[in-house]
Chain A
Amino acid sequence: MSRQTIAIAQINPALGDLERNLALHEKTAEEALDRGAGLLVFPELSLTGYFLKDIVSSVALPMTSPLFGRLRDLSRRIDLVVGLVEESAGHLFYNTAVYLTMGEILHVHRKLYLPTYGIFDEQRYLAEGGRIRTFRTRIGRSAILICEDMWHPSAACVASIDGMEILISPAASPGRGGLEEGESFANARAWETINRAYAQLFTCYVLFANRVGYEDGACFWGGSEVIGPSGKPVAKAAYLSEEVLIAEIDPAEVRRARTANPLLRDERLNVTLHELERVRRERVE
């Protein structure tokens, strides 16, 4: 597999306006194509906006929605990771990211962990996903973890053992706290720590796509980034402003990182499973 140019769409979607956001996706894809990208990753809920509350049911899309037609068409020219509210056949609503390529939906990830604390209220409106799977793409074996999923290392660990070389992380992270000391919000710094740690621990690329803009006063801080498999940043977008971030992904870097640090080789799956089973049996809450 050769080097690939990818792009991250650090966009500001409109809240609850599918048509406008779809147009924004198409426009951003043209820019990514012009700049030579073969994959474009959009943030969490990029087609709908984030703090939807009761709008959820009005913007939810079944996978058979005609709206996907335009995205499928686009994906014949560039691979896409797009965020949306997915409506299941049983009318459950999921916070979903889909990977589209060659006019088809290659992979669907439904957000596993729905934050319902502080400013978040996702479990009130959305259903939990229940699957962690890797899938083969043009840049390597990939997994998608949406925003809060990244704060549960077990999810990334499962994906890693499942063969993950590329961790795609669409996010809609509202900035909060920490303006006493740092160059950005406290949670932005925490995210940057997690992205670097995961890249290094799982010897994988991390493609972190965070949105910008404001919803009801909450500020999405951007700062999208690509971290290489040795834990070093490859590309970093600005905080707070819209940007199409371009990065080179080199599969040889994954090989080099894993040769130098064969962490994945040395994983003890059976010990982990055995001990997790024991903890499940014995744990006192």
Chain B
Amino acid sequence: MNSLSLNCAFVRQVLTGFIANEVRKTGFSRIVVGLSGGVDSALSAYLGAEALGAENVWALLMPYRTSSPESRKHAELVVKQLRIQSDVIEITPMVDAYFERFPESDHVRRGNKMARERMTVLFDHSAMLKALVLGTSNKTELLLGYGTLYGDMASAINPLGDLYKTQVRQLARYMGIPEVIVGKAPSGDLWVGQTDEAELGFTYEEVDRILYSMIDRRCEISELLAAGFDEQSVRAVLAKIQASQYKRRLPLIAKISARTIDRDFRYPRDWGK
């Protein structure tokens, strides 16, 4: 048995229920999602459309001048398949205006800026459309810290955050997302030729198996090695999780008062809902 395989019918029901329930609780009825052309945002959009109806889903395509035309084509395919409303907002003028002052910036800074530019566009549309921003980060990215803090990691609710990348692909195929989107090499498309797996140094299949054992099954490092996992990969994965812990938490607050937010002032987000 492949331990990462999913009962897709049930997971689909849980996740569409999650979107419908958590969106309506906030008093909203719509969502807005940034479509990159990749499988994660496609799956979020599909789940959103099923949960709330196509008429309640807004997709934003936010290409930069170096973004691959194929990405745009794939995002448009999702829009067409789902019959959701969409808009294309080029982020090139905003990003380039900023980097005119910092021409020496490397591709990491530029990539982060693009991700955060898209975030501001999404949250502005959230206010404009009275729509919650639907997240698209999967569990693999979140655990490895492979995302931009306050950029693509920002959302109001995220249906994918507890699904590993390989599980996202499985559910995406089950939901009927076109194979050109599901089967292509994952990429942030932040610079030409970027692929996730080259950048991370693992394939998603490899890293998901390690993460599943380490996180979900609580295996100790010694047990992972005994089970035949490559030591260097296991240690590299653990180091990435540890180094990116800050990205998964709110900013640290210096404690002064008798009651500090999130330490001894603890309320659920769904308070009163």
Residues of A participating in the B interface, judged by any CB pair closer than 8 Å: 12, 14-17, 49, 51-55, 175, 177, 179-184, 213-217, 219, 239-240
Interchain CB contact under 8 A, B6 and A51: no
Interchain CB contact under 8 A, A55 and B11: no
* 8 nearest A-B pairs in the assembled complex, by CB-CB distance: A53-B266, A214-B21, A15-B270, A216-B268, A54-B266, A51-B268, A16-B272, A179-B7
Q: How far is the CA of A215 from the CA of B18 in the complex (A)?
A: 9
- Distance in angstroms from A12 CB to nearest chain B CB is 8
Interchain CB contact under 8 A, A215 and B270: yes
Interchain CB contact under 8 A, A181 and B7: yes
Q: How far is the CA of A126 from the CA of B267 in the complex (A)?
A: 15
Residue of A nearest to B4 (CB): A180
Q: What are the residues of chain A within 8 A of B267 when measuring CB–CB? A: 53-55
B10 on the interface (CB 8 Å rule)? yes
Interchain CB contact under 8 A, A217 and B272: no
Interchain CB contact under 8 A, A15 and B268: yes
List 13 additional contacts besides A51-B268, A54-B266, A239-B13; criterion CB under 8 Å. A14-B272, A15-B271, A15-B272, A15-B273, A179-B11, A180-B6, A180-B7, A181-B7, A183-B10, A214-B21, A214-B22, A214-B270, A219-B14
A-B contacts, 23 listed (Cβ < 8 Å): A12-B21, A15-B273, A16-B271, A53-B266, A53-B267, A54-B265, A54-B266, A54-B267, A55-B267, A55-B268, A175-B14, A177-B216, A179-B7, A182-B7, A213-B21, A214-B22, A216-B269, A217-B22, A219-B14, A219-B17, A219-B18, A239-B13, A240-B13
Q: How far is the CA of A15 from the CA of B26 in the complex (A)?
A: 12
- Distance in angstroms from B261 CB to nearest chain A CB is 11
- Distance in angstroms from B25 CB to nearest chain A CB is 8
* Chain B interface, number of residues (Cβ within 8 angstroms): 26
- Distance in angstroms from B149 CB to nearest chain A CB is 20
Give the most central of B7, B18, B268, B273: most A CB within 10 Å.
B268
Interchain CB contact under 8 A, B18 and A214: yes
Interchain CB contact under 8 A, A179 and B270: no
Interface string of B1-27 (1 = CB under 8 A from A): 111111100110110011001100000
Interchain CB contact under 8 A, B271 and A181: no
- Distance in angstroms from A267 CB to nearest chain B CB is 38
